[in-house]
Each structure stands twice: as structure tokens, then as C-alpha cells.
Amino acid sequence: MQGRHPHPYTTTPISEVILPKRGKKRGSYSCGRCGVPKKGHVCNFPKNLNPIDNPSPNPDSSLLASPPPVVRPQPPPPMPQRHVLPQLRRALSFDDVDVNDSPGSDDDGEFSDLDNESDLVGSGSGIGTLPSSCLWEVFKRLPPPALLSSARVCKGWSETSRRIWKSAVELRLRVPVNAQIGLVGSVLKKCPGLVKLSLRLESDIDATMLACIAFSCPKLDSMEILMCNSVNRITGDELGRFVAEKRCLTNLKMEGCSNLEGFTLCSTSLSTLSLSDLYCHAKMVFNCPNLKDVSLDFSHQENDTTDLTLMVDGLGRSCPRLQNIHIASIRLTHAVVLALTAANLRGLRMLSLVLGSEITDASVAAIASSYSSLELLDLSGSSISDSGIGMICNIFPETLSKLLLALCPNITSSNIQICFRDYPTQQPVVH
């Protein structure tokens, strides 16, 4: 009888089953002197130091081993500080029509500190870089469309273009026919310090444009709106509200004012006002105590019902500092001249009453008695005769420097020759 055989699963010792077999012990991958990984490492410690023993696999001994020293990398040297262009306030003038029309105040005195500028502005590739001072001089002579396009070239050009727009204080812009209000608004938004604005409009204008200008140009001092085959739809109430809100506005010129109807202008800062193409205004009130120059050009239509006598009377009462007056209308009469002389404007130096066919020698006598210090007198289109010219030459022998008498049918050429001979200081102009 055979003996009992052991169970096959008990022939192998338990220690050999549970404990895995250890292979050949491999060397350390760290430096024996400083503990930094060996790959690509050049040790700076001297070789006579005792190498650091490899950490023992025993967890207890690993807790007692001191950590290897760590060599901290040196910080990179500081980058040279980039020189920033100064925030120069310039009276820049941009003209969409004529690129060569640059402002006369672009002298080199204010940019002398940029001559030694070492900053280079370019696309970043090192090719085509340009000193920032030269780029500034080039960009400030570009018209608005070219300046907007140059901002899309690279980051450096975009930053220079932004500074040009920000430093602009004068802008002349032509608005094409199909342009939207957003185009003008986006351009004006780039010029927060804009002081002088001139718009040549080929598209119609309404109160939305005025609101855009009032919002985008808080420091606006002078505004000029020129119409080019377009319609001005601004009403008198809208213009009066704009003038009242712009407390720093001193100069206003607007063409195509046929839709104003009645208006009231109240401003303590306005000193120069020019409105053209006025037609059928029932009420015109000028409450501008500091107004010095006024130019009102009315329509030449026969059915114009504007009451010029009432307008001139109110103008003389509310604007006592007037120095230059220009009124062009076929409805000018002797009554208008009497209302003007009754205002007794002591500072009046220039008087222009054009196209008044009912202005006679009596009107000349009234003007001469009230305003004997005139330097310029324009009575073109009137009905004065040679006797009226004689009164002018006798009363204004020294002060009057220019006399305009175009389109006056009652004046003879012989009397004009006498004026040239006896009063050489005067410059009569007769057509």
C-alpha cells in the first residue's frame, strides 16, 4: 500500500509564495553629491565630498534620511523698460478729401523729445521695423480711412493709431452718401479730446447726428456742418437744445437751415454764429450775451415771410457785444436799418446788409449817425446813389477801410473815381 502523498499546494514554502522575488538592485538615477537627476546635469560640488548614500528601501530609514539639497535656478535678468510715447495733445486735422491738406500748426518743436527714441515698432518679425517717432510723424498726416486701415496691420501700429486718435483735437471728416450714423459715431468715439469738428455731409442729417456729436465730444468748442447735395432735417427746437447743453461751444456754423422754422438760442459761451439757407422763420430769438460775430443768410425766395425787423430788434437787445453783423436777404428794408441803429451797438466794427433793394440813402444817413467807427461797410445790392456814397466818404474819412457796393444800379462810375482820388485809405469795390 502506497504512503500518503502531500497536498500539491503545500509542497512550496509559504514564504516563497507570498513574498515576491527581488531582482538585481539597480543604481540611483540622482547625483551622488547634490541629489539632482543625472540626465543632462553637471554637478558643481567638489568630488572630494562623500557621496550621499542611496535611500534604503526600508520605510523607517527613509524617514530619517535628510533631504537632498536643491539648487534653485537664478532668475532671468530684468527686461529693459519700454519707453512710452508721451500723451501729446495735438491740433491734428484729418481731411478725407485732400490728404495734402495738413494743419499749419504741426511744428517740430513739440516732438523734439521723440528724435532720440530707440523704440522700434513693426510686425514683430524684425523686418520692416520703424522708430516710433517716425511712425508717429507718418500716422498723424494720414486721412481717417488710411488711419483706420493701418490699425489692422499689427499690434504696434494699432497702438500708435490709437494714440493719434486720442491726441487729436481737430477733425475734418467727409461723410459719404450711404454712410450710417454708426460710422460717424465710431470715429468720434476715438477722439475723446476733440475740440474742433468739421463735417462735410453728402447724406441727410437729423437730430440723431446732433445727439451723437453731443455724446461723443464733451469738450467740443467749434462745430461746422457743411451740406453737399443733402438735406438738413434739424429743427429749431433740436438746435436750441443742442446749443443749450453744449456749454463750452463758442463757434457754430451750419448750412441748409431751411427746416429750422422758429428757434431760440440760449448760450453764455457762444461767440460766433453762422446760419445759411434760412427760410420762413416765425420766431428767431438770440439770447447770447457774449455773441460777437453773427452771419445770417436767408433764402432768395420771394415768398419768404421772415420778420427781419423783429429779429434785428431782439438781436440788438440780447447781444450787446456784437462786433460783426452780416445779413443777406431780399427782405432787407429801411425799417430793418432803423431797428439796427436803435440797438446802439457801441462795439460794431463790420456791417454787411446784402441784397436789400429797399435800402436807400436815408438808410446810409441812419447808419452814419449811429455807427461812425465802422471799419467795413457792405451795402451790395442796395438802391443807394452817388449822394449816399458822398455821405459815407464824409463821415468815415479815416476809420472805414473797405466799402463794398456790388450790384448797385444807381451808382455812377465817375463818383467812384472821385472816392479813389479824394479818399485813398478807403477801398471801394463796385461791380
pLDDT digits (tens, 9 = 90+) for 82-92: 444 444 444 44
Per-residue pLDDT, 428: 54
Q: List residues bridging with 200 in a β-sheet.
A: 174, 226
Minimum mean pLDDT among 15-24, 113-122, 145-154: which range? 113-122
Higher pLDDT, 72 or 153: 153
Using the predicted structure, report yes or no on whether residue 358 has a pLDDT greater than 60. Answer: yes
* Cα 348 from chain centroid (whole Å): 34
112 CB-contact burial (10 Å; exposed 0-12 / middle 13-18 / buried 19+)? exposed
Is the pLDDT at 285 greater than 80? The verdict is yes
pLDDT band with cut points at 50, 70 and 90 for residue 103: very low
pLDDT band at residue 354 under the 50/70/90 scheme: very high
pLDDT score, position 71: 53
What mean pLDDT is predicted for residues 210-215? Answer: 91
CA atoms of 386 and 394, how far apart (whole Å): 12
Instruction: Give yes or no for residue 54 having a pLDDT over 50.
Output: no
Residue 118: the pLDDT is: 38
Query: What does the pLDDT read at residue 116?
Result: 37
d(CA 161, CA 410): 60
pLDDT at residue 21, as a whole number: 52
Q: What is the mean pLDDT of the chain?
A: 76
Q: Is 95 in contact with 143 (CB distance < 8 Å)?
A: yes
5 burial class (0-12, 13-18, 19+ CB within 10 angstroms)?
A: exposed
The predicted structure's pLDDT at residue 242 = 94
Checking if the pLDDT of 409 tops 80, the result is yes
Please compute the mean of the pLDDT values over residues 411-415 and round it to a whole number.
Answer: 77
What pLDDT, on the 0 to 100 scale, is given for residue 318? 92
The proportion of the chain whose per-residue pLDDT surpasses 90, expressed as a percent, equals 31
Q: What is the pLDDT of residues 137-157, one digit of tens each?
A: 888 888 777 888 888 888 888
Q: What angle do CA 216, 217, 218 make, to 5 degrees?
A: 110
Q: What is the DSSP letter of 68?
A: P
Residue 60, pLDDT score: 45
Quick check: 274 pLDDT over 50?
A: yes
Highest-confidence segment of 50-54, 279-283, 405-409 = 405-409
Q: Could you tell me which residue, 12 or 32, shows the higher pLDDT?
A: 32
Distance separating alpha carbons of residues 356 and 296, to the nearest angstrom: 14
Band (pLDDT 50/70/90 cuts) for residue 408 is confident
Report the length, in residues, of the chain: 431
Residue with the bigger pLDDT between 266 and 40: it is: 266
Is the pLDDT at 279 greater than 60? The verdict is yes
User: Which residues, 6+ apart, have CB-to-CB distance to 276 below 8 Å?
Assistant: 254, 255, 256, 257, 295, 297
Residues 228/201, Cβ–Cβ less than 8 Å: yes
The pLDDT of 323-349, averaged and rounded, is 92
Least confident of 64-68, 100-104, 219-223, 410-414: 100-104
> Would you state the pLDDT for residue 426?
54
> According to the model, what pLDDT value does residue 44 have?
74
Query: pLDDT digit string (tens) for 184-201?
Result: 888 888 888 899 999 999
What DSSP state is assigned to residue 32? T
Question: Per-residue b/e over 368-402, b at no fewer than 16 CB within 10 Å?
Answer: bebbeebebbbbbbbbbbeebbebbbebbeeebee
What average pLDDT does range 213-237 have in this prediction? 92
pLDDT at 388: 86
- Which residue ranges form the domains of the chain, and what is each CATH number? 97-103+117-168 (no CATH), 169-305 (3.80.10), 332-431 (3.80.10.10)
Over residues 28-48, the pLDDT tens digits come to: 677 777 777 877 777 777 665
Q: What mean pLDDT do residues 22-29 have? A: 58
* More confidently predicted of 124 and 265: 265
